[in-house]
Amino acid sequence: MAVKSLFAFGHRIGYLAFDTARPLKLPGLRDQLSERILDEGQVQRMIALEPNPRNSILLRLLYTPGVRVSELCGLR
C-alpha cells in the first residue's frame, strides 16, 4: 500500500509521467480497532500487576483522567 501511494504521489507532483501502480487492486484491510481496545477489568488488572510504583502511577494517569501519551511525556 505504501509503494502504491508513493507512485501516486510521484505522479501527482509531476516526478513520474504515469502512475503505474494505479491499476493494482489491493486486498481490503480488516478493521482491528475493536481487538485493540481493553475493557476496564483488563486495565485495572494491568495497573494492579505493575510492580514499579512509577509505572503504576503513569498507567493510572493515562487511564483515569484520559491524559494523552504526548501530554504525559511532556510532564516534568
Q: How far is 47 from 11, CA to CA, in rounded Å?
A: 49
Q: What percent of the chain stands above pLDDT 90?
A: 46
37 alpha-carbon distance from chain centroid? 12
The pLDDT-based confidence of 20 (bands split at 50, 70, 90) is confident
DSSP helix/strand/coil, 21: coil
Q: Where are the domains of the chain?
A: 1-29, 38-76
Model confidence at 32: pLDDT above 90 = no
pLDDT tens, residue by residue, 56-65: 999 998 888 8
Which DSSP string corresponds to 35-55? HHPPPHHHHHHHHHH---HHH
